[in-house]
Homo-oligomer: A and B are copies of this chain.
């Protein structure tokens, strides 16, 4: 199910580590340079699509926050990059892009109403409503990582003033936090031994321990999965979607996370919303990039304005 944009002859992905660039300006300059490099190799590049892991105002193409990268408050990325490249530019939230990629070419292909979440450092959300991306009235919507599942829960990240959001309780960051606590509490578990050996107790380590049969790690992934299922029950009741698609790095846990999440959703949601399929994303880590590219192509070819 590889999208045509990545088929033979299309541009190969180019990777720029954000950490190598000290400021938003420097990174945008490098992005423009990468675009120029691709245009030297391909003659059919018509637009640039950016999927940003953070808060984006789609309507004006501003980036208001990037998870774990400083210096991105109210940056007019779309206009700067359009000016530097001379190409039309689309800037969207990466989870919106992932949702669109899965809708066009992945786990939600051919369906109409899609709720998508990306489970990474944070939790991003993307929505397809009646076959079209839904971004809300000011272009900032679909932030389903910030629905509350425990009103008195822990504070969310610095950019979100809420407490007990599903991001605060079921993101990769939350999983790692719980993992560190569990490793300390259970020194004889595989997770505890990993800690004693000086390994970082993060999502990949927890997933590795769980896959090796460590019950502490398995229970942790199940706990986080159930928390995710609490949020999914509300989203299912609200949207009555055709499918819920879950992607992002934490989904490397596979059924260890997805099974408990699905079970909790089944237990909590109304009939018939409790029957909604919950699927792992099909396009993997490239889904956001693929979605940004095809969104830029589709929104330009449909005549929608994507740059000033």
Contact = CB atoms under 8 A, between A and B. Distances in A.
Interface stretch (A19-27, A141-149, A252-260): A141-149
Interface in A111-127: 111-113, 125, 127
Interface in A139-180: 139-144, 146-152, 159-163, 165
Nearest to A129: B129
Interface in A66-113: 111-113
A240 B227 CA distance: 24
A163 B273 contact: no
A137 B112 contact: yes
Given A161-B268, A163-B268, A148 B241 contact: no
A137 B235 CA distance: 13
A233 B148 contact: yes
A135 interface: yes
Contacts of A44: none
A107 to B, nearest CB: 15
Given A129-B129, A147-B237, A239-B141, A160 B270 contact: yes
B113 A148 contact: no
A151 B165 CA distance: 11
Nearest to A226: B151
A122 to B, nearest CB: 12
Contact of A129 (B134, B139, B227): B134
B112 A148 contact: no
B273 A147 contact: no
A52 interface: no
Contact of A125 (B238, B268, B274): B238
Contacts of A136: 113, 239-241, 273
A189 interface: no
Contacts of A234: 144, 146-148, 165, 234
Contact of A55 (B148, B165, B270): B270
Nearest to A169: B151
27 contacts: A111-B137, A113-B137, A129-B129, A130-B130, A138-B272, A139-B240, A142-B238, A143-B240, A144-B237, A146-B234, A146-B237, A146-B269, A148-B148, A148-B149, A148-B234, A149-B149, A149-B150, A150-B151, A151-B227, A160-B270, A161-B267, A161-B268, A161-B269, A161-B270, A161-B274, A162-B268, A238-B238
Q: Which 4 A-B pairs have the closest CB atoms?
A: A136-B240, A141-B240, A147-B234, A143-B237
Given A140-B272, A144-B238, 15 more contacts: A112-B137, A129-B130, A130-B134, A137-B240, A138-B240, A138-B272, A140-B270, A142-B240, A143-B237, A144-B237, A146-B269, A150-B150, A160-B270, A165-B234, A234-B234
